[in-house]
Chain A
Amino acid sequence: MANTKTFEEINEKIKKGKVTVVTAEEIIPMVKEEGTAAVLEKVDVVTTATFGAMCSSGAFLNFGHADPPIKMYKVWLNDVPAYTGLAAVDAYLGATEPAEGLNLSYGGAHVIEDLVAGKKVKLRAIAYGTDCYPRKNIETWVGLEDLNQAYLFNPRNAYQNYAVAVNSSDKPIYTYMGTLLPNLGNATYSTSGELSPLLNDPDFQTIGIGTRIFLAGGEGYIAWEGTQHNPGQKRNKHGTPENAAGTLAVIGDLRGMKRDYLRAAVFHQYGISLYVGIGIPIPLLNEEIVSRVAVSNHELTTTVFDYGVPSRNRPALGTVTYAELRSGKIKLNGKTIPTAPLSSLYKARQIAAELKEKILNGQFFLTAPVKQLPFRSGVKPLLEREEVGT
């Protein structure tokens, strides 16, 4: 009886159509009933997934050259400014960038969704004109098929755990965690819990730089640690972080992505964001990895923060499990607070199931990380200095 497997052995099984894949929800009762050794023998891959609002997302676009050519100095797509401080016709369109004059109802995320949905968007650019790029402005319509490159490059996605938000103030507040009712009137949270990628691999044993992933219906890769990656957060007795910890920077071709898994969002009186669907396969290489993916919502904990205090250091009010959050109510200091999710478990389940099918059908092979994600911990604050100093 083999007590370890390799990526190569699992990929060989995928090629031969002999691989066994289950989702991170399905594995939980299996491990409980049969134990890690028996499950390792039987199952090769576990699929994890999440579908949440991920503000730190955007796309690199290359428009191709017009004739006469233009070195774009400012560029707008459906009136949403994109960053073009790059080569002549390269731009980065950020998901949260609002359209000029539209009062936060349309933004970069909507342009990305429109492109993926097959719509043409209005491109407008201005330039100062150079000897080799004499043109000073252009206005046209472009679709995904017209662009040379169009790839999502999201600097921070797939948070390993996240805060629960409540509001102790006497007024409702409007946040990226939704509408928070006064006097601890509700609590919102945003992870897929036991289905969440990095909560199933808390020590980054198989998920790392170079890992091939399901990105918004297409194929993507983990490019780097995400911004504010902070895996050194305090861990609970099951070894998972008790608050927002690791993050991933991901990349993937917009062509091949589906609108079902990439949706623009507007958080009332906060701003624009992008719901991104991510699925990550975890190969069961040994019993320890099996025990990590067997983690359930009863063991996963997170911290409740008071968003009613507008400070970088919001007060932590307590710790709860995802099982409690999913039950619809949590207890905090003797008060019962109704809970609501912000990330879609329904969509996350669809993604985990779709990734499972792709692997079973030999359409998705696993990749070993090129490099492990770092364990460096801590997130630095922004200091306000009077002068440069030393």
Chain B
Amino acid sequence: MIKKRVVLTFPSELSEKPLTYHLVKDFDLAINILKAKITPGEEGKMVLELSNGSAEMIQQGLDFLIRQGVKVEPLSKELVLADEECIHCGACTAVCRSEALQIDPESARLVFDREKCIVCELCVPSCPLGIIKVLF
């Protein structure tokens, strides 16, 4: 299944429009809101994962958002973990709700599943060794 993760920036006047509703209804897309900060009257940000459609349908949905005045950017932030410095303590797994960071029950090593990461960045300060960084 094709999945696409995008960062949406809403100008203040759009923050009250039900745009995600149209993505579901008009373009038959499955949407997963990974992160959202939308306050009426202010510029909003949302990180969406789009699936359930062809690449074409996803693009049509995104084109619709752009026509409405939403700024659409690919989710290009990425978590970088300095593996060779890791002590595999597991402190980062305590805050990782998406289960991207987990201690493997067999090897007891930290494993990072990039696919599951929503770049919420909670792990960055939680790492006692300070070896998790976010790259733009």
List the A residue with the shortest CB-CB distance to B90.
Answer: A341
A340 contacts which chain B residues (CB < 8 A)? 90-91, 93-94, 103
B128 contacts which chain A residues (CB < 8 A)? 53, 178, 265-267, 273, 275
Q: Of B87, B93, B95, which contacts A263 at CB under 8 A?
A: B87
Task: Say whether B108 contacts A179, CB under 8 Å.
Answer: no
B125 an interface residue at 8 Å Cβ cutoff?
yes
Which residues, 100 to 119 on B, are CB-close (under 8 Å) to A?
A: 102-103, 105, 107-109
B122 an interface residue at 8 Å Cβ cutoff?
yes
* Stretch of A29-37, A64-72, A214-222, A344-352 at the chain-chain interface: A344-352
Task: Say whether B94 contacts A188, CB under 8 Å.
Answer: yes
A275 to B130: give the CA distance in the assembly, Å: 14
A344 to B129: give the CA distance in the assembly, Å: 13
A291 an interface residue at 8 Å Cβ cutoff?
no
B108 contacts which chain A residues (CB < 8 A)? 344-346, 349
Which residues, 50 to 107 on A, are CB-close (under 8 Å) to B?
A: 51-53, 105
A9 to B90: give the CA distance in the assembly, Å: 40
Interface 1/0 per residue, B52-90 and A, CB below 8 Å = 000000000000000000000000000000000001111
Residues of A within 8 A of B (CB-CB), count = 31
A16 an interface residue at 8 Å Cβ cutoff?
no
Interface 1/0 per residue, A315-356 and B, CB below 8 Å = 000000000001010000000001011111111010000000
Task: Say whether A347 contacts B87, CB under 8 Å.
Answer: yes
Task: Say whether B129 contacts A347, CB under 8 Å.
Answer: no
Task: Say whether A179 contacts B94, CB under 8 Å.
Answer: yes
Interface of B is mostly: loop
A368 an interface residue at 8 Å Cβ cutoff?
no
A186 to B107: give the CA distance in the assembly, Å: 22
A181 an interface residue at 8 Å Cβ cutoff?
yes
Which residues, 128 to 147 on A, are CB-close (under 8 Å) to B?
A: none
B102 contacts which chain A residues (CB < 8 A)? 328
State the Cβ distance, B71 to closest chain A Cβ, in Å.
30
A343 to B94: give the CA distance in the assembly, Å: 12
Task: Say whether B125 contacts A346, CB under 8 Å.
Answer: no
Task: Say whether B88 contacts A178, CB under 8 Å.
Answer: no
Most chain A C-beta atoms within 10 Å of own C-beta, residue among B89, B103, B130: B89
A186 to B93: give the CA distance in the assembly, Å: 10
A51 contacts which chain B residues (CB < 8 A)? 87, 89
B126 an interface residue at 8 Å Cβ cutoff?
yes
A264 contacts which chain B residues (CB < 8 A)? 129
A122 contacts which chain B residues (CB < 8 A)? none
Task: Say whether A342 contacts B87, CB under 8 Å.
Answer: no
Which residues, 225 to 275 on A, are CB-close (under 8 Å) to B?
A: 263-269, 273, 275
B90 contacts which chain A residues (CB < 8 A)? 340-342, 344
Task: Say whether B109 contacts A178, CB under 8 Å.
Answer: no
Interface 1/0 per residue, A159-202 and B, CB below 8 Å = 00000000000000000001111000010100000000000000
A51 to B108: give the CA distance in the assembly, Å: 13
Task: Say whether A186 contacts B130, CB under 8 Å.
Answer: no
Task: Say whether A347 contacts B122, CB under 8 Å.
Answer: no
| 20 A-B pairs in the complex with CB atoms less than 8 angstroms apart | A51-B89, A53-B128, A105-B130, A178-B95, A178-B126, A178-B128, A179-B95, A188-B91, A266-B128, A275-B89, A328-B102, A340-B91, A340-B93, A340-B103, A342-B90, A344-B88, A345-B88, A345-B108, A346-B88, A346-B107
Q: Show the binding face of A for B, using Cβ within 8 Å.
A: 51-53, 105, 178-181, 186, 188, 263-269, 273, 275, 326, 328, 338, 340-347, 349
Given contacts A340-B90, A345-B88, list 16 more A-B pairs with CB under 8 A.
A179-B91, A179-B122, A179-B125, A180-B94, A266-B128, A267-B128, A275-B128, A341-B89, A341-B90, A342-B91, A344-B87, A344-B90, A346-B87, A346-B107, A347-B88, A349-B108
